Structure 1
Amino acid sequence: MATRSRIGIKRTDGSLELIYCHSDGYFAHNGRMLHEHWQSQAKVEGMIARGDMSVLGEVVGKKHDFNWVMNFPETAEGHIDWDGVRADPRHKMCLFYMRDRGDKELYSQRFSNLEAAAEIFEEYLYLWDETRDAWIGCQTPWQCNPASLDWYLLSDLAEIKFYDEDIHKVPTTTYHSAASQIIDATPTVMDKMVEGLHQF
């Protein structure tokens, strides 16, 4: 079962532009991927311009077979050759519905503010914040109140090595005691991670 997310840009006027991502939306994959490989607004704009995607990669990449993994040569035992898949250049590319599968009209969506976008929230939401010039992210439970979301700077989560933990963890006060044992995790960073951002 996929872990769905929305990825987009929060403009300086508070408006949002979002696309859908079907797979691996949790912090330890999409959050980490965005933090490590999408650190310029020009790159983010290029990704968003291509519309909804199945899989977030390290780069936009080029058009390729949407089902390339399933069509990859099998091992002698009849299984997908996962080592070969990971070594293939396509493994680092985003997999877009329009570009790679030929779907139509799956462009980014624009909203005047966070509340207006709430109807399309998935399980996680990641925004390149133009004001902060940085990624922020949160978990978006079903029918959540947009005003009560706990936002985190993805750089803060990286600093405390949060991405190295269980893949489906979400920052909580329960996590605080375990994470405080991590080397170089300062109380200031930990407090920010647990409390989230005070201002969306």
Structure 2
Amino acid sequence: MTLYYTLVFMLLVAEMTIFMLLIVPLPFTIRRRMFTFISENPVIAKLQYGLKITFIFILILFIDSVNRVYRVQVELAAATDNGKGSGTAAIMGHERLEVQARKFYSQRNMYLCGFTLFLSLILNRTYIMILEVLRLEEKIKQYEGTDKNTKQAEKLAMAGEPGEISRLKKELAKKDQDLENLKKQASGLHREYDSLTEKYAQTQEDGTPKKMK
């Protein structure tokens, strides 16, 4: 195996290891810290950029290996047809073994590059899905009040009870009391208005105003 295909194989093994680490069940806090570190670390960002360039070269190697497999297949088929037409085997001994070896190496390189590219797509999609799941879990914890930041905010609110929050509650209670007083005054005025309306109606019916007490 040549040097660049050896590097491709090492990259494939690294991808398999990373994939196993991604699917290992971990506590929510540890998983969130790990993915936060991966997302915000500038060194890992540069490494990801370098891997994108590397995958472009692997794609070129994959296309070349597919081309080699096709050419070996065509060569082997042509040699087999020539052997049948002449009545003798056109490829014998070490020549046939050489063609079979070239076919095997070409197919091996094609599978190696193909699986490396395919696993890179799976890793990228898995990483995005895990980030989305972590974001949704964090939102759920905030809504349920089980998140650490939410608990801290509640503690701060409780600690500030005698201060600003207490003053606001007193103002709210005062407004409620004023509103209740206004309702009572409005009710009294409404009853007085009804009483005056009835007395006025009686004076109109009798034709003479009555002495009002």
* Greater share of residues in helix: 2
The TM-score normalised by the length of structure 1 is: 0.23
**Which of the two has higher C-alpha Rg?**
2
Task: Return the structure number with greater strand share.
Answer: 1
